[in-house]
Structure 1
Amino acid sequence: MGKFFNLDNPIMNFISKLSDTLWLNILWLVTSLPIVTIGPATAALYHVTLNMADDRSVCLTADYFKGFKENFKKGTALGLVLTGLGIILGIDGYVFLRMKFVNPIWTLGFAAFIPISVLFLVVCIYAFPLQAMFDNTLKALLKNALLIGIRYLFCTISLVIIHVSIFYIAINYFTPLIFLGEGLCAFLSSYLLRPLFVSLSEE
């Protein structure tokens, strides 16, 4: 029984890391509050969780703010670009759903809106972890996020399921799960992303 509660036990080690996501989520929420800093905050979150997934020793607060500082400039630019694109797509979606016209132009426009929105979601899923792991220009980062998301479709679907499932469960069944929120999403996602990124860096 004592061996089970030993932190060297893989299960207990995972549970210990899982509990750390509560503090990481608090740090992420606090540093994201100005909204414009949500980019470096998310990159900093993955900076820590990717190391956790690799079983590296981390100091949560110190490593988080180290990642926040290192990714502040590029992370802010990335966050603003994605936020701007998200707002545009949100307005387009609202217009398409509110103004339904039975004509070819509306049909073609709405048909194009759906895949563009999906591709935008793919970029959002990969962009911040890539920012935390690699040093790229903003243009290269967005391009790589899209290409990786399309190439590794199973991983992409799994990442979407992780995010959707956690927030669906938190909203509908177990509200306290919201306190783990994005921290938990990033932590679980990192177990899929870390080996993928290592493989890509060796190509």
Structure 2
Amino acid sequence: MLVGPLFIGNDGCPNPMPVEGAALAAWHKFALDQATLFENQRVQQTLEDRAMWRKELEKVSKGFQDSQDVLLQRCEKKEQQLQEEINKLTMALLMSKYSKRIEMLNIRGALERIRRDAANQKGISSANKGQATLAEIAESEEFTKISEGEARARGLKQAEVRDSAAFLFKYLSGYAHGYDEPIVVKKGDHPRDERVAIIALLKLQDKWPSPLSWREEE
């Protein structure tokens, strides 16, 4: 039973006044309204909190997505740069191989020219007969004189140069025929003995009619 305002009894102590009838109904309505109001406020606060957290989550999610997009763009750009570098290096390697092959072809052609022109030189009986011509030239007095100086200047023995000259044509036979001047003899393309043998042969033909133009490079 609900109670209303307090009143003072005969004993001087406060006693609650019972609430009945319309007053009781009003009290129930007031209590229900207060409970409903409180519940509505709680629900509203919950909805507002959820909306706030949703916004924060969307903000964080967007920031993460933006960071992910930036990182992805950087990775794609870096990958593109690396691919461009790979393409450049591949092209440079192919050009280097092509250039080296052309230079080796030129040396092969130069040896063929020397072998052919040897027919006009005294003491060369096997002219224009492949490797035999170079082997005979390697034993000649003039080649020996030139190759001795070249070998000495490069820390080699003349016999090493002579033996290399005798087999140069076989070594270069895998390359095509023909040549373009000037003939370029590069340090890194041949072992020392072969390089000196080639240079000695080119210096030898310098004294012949219509010699090939050539140069040595590092």
**TM-score (structure 1 length as normaliser):** 0.27
Question: Which structure is richer in relative contact order (CA contacts within 8 A, separation 6 or more)?
Answer: 1
Larger Rg: 2
Larger fraction in helix: 1
Larger fraction in strand: 2
**TM-score (structure 2 length as normaliser):** 0.26
